[in-house]
A = this chain, B = another copy of it.
Amino acid sequence: MNNFIENCRERFEKVNSVLCLGLDPVIEKFPIKNDGIEKTIVGYFTELISNFHGKILAVKPNMAFYEQYGIEGYSALKKVVELAANYGLPVILDAKRGDIGNTSLAYARACFDELKADAVTLSPYLGEDSLSPFFGYKDKGFFVLDRTSNKGSSDFQLLKTENGGYLYSHVTEKIVEWNKKYSEGIGAVAGATHIEEFGNIAGTFSENGFLPILIPGVGTQGGDLGSVVSKLKNMNYPLYKIFINSSSKIIFAHNEHGDMKYIDAVEYEINKMQL
C-alpha cells in the first residue's frame, strides 16, 4: 500500500477525524507574536499543534502564505513541516504546481526532498507529462485540482465538451487513469461548495477503488461538514482517504470569538469539525 495512504489510515484509527488543518500564516491576524516573522509563525503553529494534534488527521500549509514572507517565510515552512512530522501528522503541501518535464521534477524535489512533505496539490492544465515526475515519488500523496471551491472555477472547469462531459469530468477520468498507472496515492481536490459535482467525482472514485479526496471550502467558504460526510458514508467511502480542510476559520478563530481566550476559540472551532 502507498505509504501516505497507509499513514493516514493508521492515524484515522487513532484520532477518528477527517480534519485537515490549513496552516496558512497571515501574521497580522495572529493572536500571539514573537520576535520576527519565522518565530511568530512557528510559535503560534507549535501552540496549535501541541494542543490539538489529537483531533487532526493531517495539516496543509499553503506555500503562498510562506512565500509572501520571503526567505524567513520559506525557513518557517520548513520548520512547520518538521513540527507536524514530530507529532505524526501527515503534511499535505498545498503548492498547486505543474510544469513541463524536468521542471516538474525540480518542483517535486523541492516539495519532497527539500521540504519533506508527505503529499502535494498539483495543477492539471499542462497534462500528464507535467505531473508524472511527481508521481515517480510512489510513496507520496497527490491531489490534482479538479472541481475547486472558488467562484471563478466555473470559467474553465464547467466548459462543456463535445462528448457531453465537462472539463472537470475529463480531469476526473484522467486522475482515475493516473491512479491505476502510477500510484494509489493519486486523488483530487474537490470543493465542498459544489455538492452535486463533488458527488459525481466521489461517485467515479468510489467505483475505482476510492481515491483520496482533499475537500476545501468547508467553514469560511460555506460548505457543510455534515452533508459532505453523510454523502461519503452512503458510498462506503473509507474516511481515512478524506481530508476536509479548514484554515482561517480555525487558526483565526479568536477574531470571531472576542469573548474567549484565543486557544479556547480555536478549540471551539476544531470541535465543530469533528465527526
List the interface of chain A (C-beta within 8 A of B).
Answer: 24, 26, 62, 64-65, 67-71, 74-75, 78, 94, 96-101, 103-104, 106-107, 109-110, 113-115, 123-130, 132, 145, 148-157, 159-162, 167, 170-171, 174, 216
Pair A68/B161 contact, Cβ less than 8 Å: no
Main secondary structure of the interface of A (DSSP, over half): helix
Residues of B within 8 A of A174 (CB): 155-156
Pair B96/A150 contact, Cβ less than 8 Å: no
From B99, B123, B132, B157, give the contact of A98 (CB < 8 A). Answer: B123
From B24, B64, B74, B130, give the contact of A152 (CB < 8 A). Answer: B130
Q: A64-B99, A68-B106, A127-B155 are in contact. List 10 more A-B contacts (CB 8 A).
A: A67-B110, A67-B114, A68-B110, A68-B113, A71-B71, A96-B97, A100-B216, A127-B156, A132-B152, A159-B167
Residues of B within 8 A of A103 (CB): 24, 62, 64-65
Bound together, the chains give a CA A129 to CA B154 distance in angstroms of 10
Pair A64/B107 contact, Cβ less than 8 Å: yes
Nearest-Cβ distance from residue A260 to partner chain B, whole angstroms: 24
Nearest-Cβ distance from residue A102 to partner chain B, whole angstroms: 8
Pair B110/A126 contact, Cβ less than 8 Å: no
Pair B156/A167 contact, Cβ less than 8 Å: yes
Pair B152/A126 contact, Cβ less than 8 Å: yes
| Given A71-B71, A71-B74, A96-B123: A128 touches B106 (CB 8 Å cut-off) | no
